[in-house]
Structure 1
Amino acid sequence: MVDYVGKVKQLIASHQFLQFTANWCPDCIYANSIWKRFGVQSKIHMFEVGPMSNNEREQYRKAFQEVTGSRNLPTVVVNGKFWATESELHRFEAKGTLKEELQKIGLL
């Protein structure tokens, strides 16, 4: 049996900036447009579940829920902790604080 929780913990421990993402997900495409706009996409490790089977993808979503508290696509993890989904990114944009928030976490 695959230890999905262990794999997620290892992924998070191995990357300062990690995005749980799917290539077909509109919210993920939005988040990726933010990274591209700020020129930081190469700093964020993308854990892509789009091409996985439905069962494997669901197992990873459950594992991300257990480890980070979020099963959303995208889920952004910074320094081992949940940081944002697209909802937070939208809120930062609406408040005009997106650049400042990215600076706070060391992405800029």
Structure 2
Amino acid sequence: MSTEIITSAEAKHEIDKIVSENKFVLFTATWCPDCVYVKKILEEHNILEKFYVWELSRYEKGTSNFKTYTSAWFAKAEGQQNIPLLFIDGLYFGTEHQIKSWEAAGKLQEQFEKLGLF
């Protein structure tokens, strides 16, 4: 656990850099059931390794850095207030709701192919 307090500007710069430099980005936390679900689906399709995974659980809930990073994430995701957050080609793509809708429709493989994950 880091004890250095990050500023909002530093967090925003870091998040912008991660999203712009990686084709696929997943902002996640180990304690989040929806995040666990998305990681499980990506693992089952052998594509999790294609994602830059940023794990919020390195910070304790309620700490300054936790709050600063979640604010930066949600701002980058156009005001979204839940995790996980998926970014593709530098743009906010969605949360677990997108993955669940594809799964319910039996279109996971097809949609992952369209995104260039295979």
* Map 1:85-96 → 2, pairs under 5 A: 85-96=95-106
Q: Which residue of 2 aligns with 1:99?
A: 109
Structure 2, gaps ≥5 residues long: 1-5
In 2, are the aligned partners of 1:19 and 1:76 still within 8 Å (CA)?
yes
In 2, are the aligned partners of 1:61 and 1:72 still within 8 Å (CA)?
no
Q: Which residue of 2 aligns with 1:65?
A: 74
Q: Which residue of 1 aligns with 2:14?
A: 7
TM-score by length of 1: 0.91
Runs of 4+ in 1 over 3 A off after TM superposition: none
Q: Which residue of 2 aligns with 1:46?
A: 53
DSSP-derived class of the 1:77 partner: strand
Q: Which deviates more, 83-92 or 54-63?
A: 54-63
Q: Size of the alignment, in residue pairs? A: 108
Distance 1:105 1:22 in 2: 23
Which of the numbers 27, 32, 35 marks the counterpart of 1:20?
27
In 2, are the aligned partners of 1:75 and 1:82 still within 8 Å (CA)?
yes
Cα RMSD between the aligned structures? 1.3
Distance 1:64 1:71 in 2: 9
DSSP-derived class of the 1:46 partner: strand
Q: Which residue of 1 aligns with 2:84?
A: 74
Q: Which deviates more, 48-57 or 7-16?
A: 48-57
Following superposition, the deviation at residue 51 of structure 1 comes to 2.1
TM-score by length of 2: 0.84
Following superposition, the deviation at residue 75 of structure 1 comes to 0.4
**What is the identity percentage for the equivalent residue pairs of Structure 1 and Structure 2?**
26
Structure 1, gaps ≥5 residues long: none
